[in-house]
């Protein structure tokens, strides 16, 4: 009998941010969307690889966002290869050029998928 190769899931992290009470997607809604995306893309988010910042604007510094700081540290430690968020503006609301700092830090530590 020939066994089909088991598909290995890609280790991922989920990042959720909500700046205030008047927002399109609640943290629970974002998490649900990210979970669906992970399943669709063959990713697995371990319980300890969910990072959240609530009531914090997206243009805050990393030092003011404990969830983002922890996400960056875990990425640097090689804990996962992919970061999933409901929208790129959850990572940063800064000008795209300024926000590139976050994306580049994540890209450099994650390496190729």
Q: Tell me the backbone φ, ψ of residue 17, rounded to 5 degrees.
A: -140, 135
What is the reported pLDDT for 15?
A: 95
The position carrying tokens 């974002």 is: 30
Domains belonging to the chain, first-starting first, are: 10-110 (3.40.50.1390)
* Spatial distance between the Cα atoms of 58 and 80, rounded to a whole number of angstroms: 23
Each residue's pLDDT tens digit in the chain (113 positions)?
Answer: 555 556 789 999 999 998 876 667 889 999 999 999 999 999 999 999 999 998 877 667 767 889 999 998 999 899 998 999 998 888 877 666 666 776 777 777 655 54
């Amino acid at each position: 009998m020939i066994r089909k190769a088991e598909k290995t899931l890609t280790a991922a992290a989920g990042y959720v941010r909500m700046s205030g009470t008047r927002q399109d997607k609640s943290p629970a809604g974002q998490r649900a969307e990210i979970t669906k995306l992970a399943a669709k893309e063959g990713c697995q988010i371990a319980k300890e690889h969910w990072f959240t910042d609530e009531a914090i604007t997206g243009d805050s510094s990393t030092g003011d966002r404990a969830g983002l700081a922890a996400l960056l540290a875990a990425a640097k430690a090689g804990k996962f290869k992919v970061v999933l968020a409901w929208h790129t503006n959850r990572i940063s609301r800064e000008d795209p050029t300024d926000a590139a700092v976050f994306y580049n830090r994540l890209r450099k530590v994650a390496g190729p998928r």
